[in-house]
Every structure is written in C-alpha cells, then in structure tokens.
Amino acid sequence: MTRPEASEKIKASCKTIALEMMDLNPTIASLDDTETQEALYEASYELTKQLEIIKKRVIKLERRGDAGADTSTKL
C-alpha cells in the first residue's frame, strides 16, 4: 500500500466511525439511565475528538509532501 492509499484509507475509516457514532447518540438517549448516558456521551465525544486528531495528522502529512523524512535538528 502506498502512502496516498494509506492516507485515504485512514481518512475513510475515520469518517465511517464518526458517522456510526452519530447514529449511536440517539440510541444512548433511549437507555433511560442518566449516569450511563452521561458517561457514554462523554466517551463518544472523546472518541470523536480523537478521530479528528487522526484525520488532521494524516492531512498534515499529506500537505508536507515529502517522503516522511524529518530533516529538522530540533528536539
């Protein structure tokens, strides 16, 4: 798999997961238990944030346009 193929697969997977999470939220509301609902909404939110971080890192890599080598001398 090439880097562009991997990037597209990662972004597509993140999108699929995010869409599934959107479908999950109305279901959580049906649980009729406030404590559980709050915990699940929070976990869902955190997962969505992490998916966005993954996508942004992949996009940043794509924009860099190099072969992945880090030529910086900074620690």
Tens place of pLDDT per residue across the chain (75 aa): 999 999 999 999 999 999 999 889 899 999 999 999 999 999 999 999 999 999 999 999 999 876 555 555 454
Q: What angle do CA 17, 28, 26 make, to 5 degrees?
A: 75
Amino acid letter for position 72: S
The DSSP output letter for 66 is S
The angle, 0 to 180 degrees and rounded to 10, between the axes of the packed helices 34-64 and 3-29 is 160
Distance between CA 23 and CA 20 in Å, rounded?
5
Amino acid letter for position 22: M
Distance between CA 56 and CA 64 in Å, rounded?
12
What is the model's pTM? Answer: 0.72
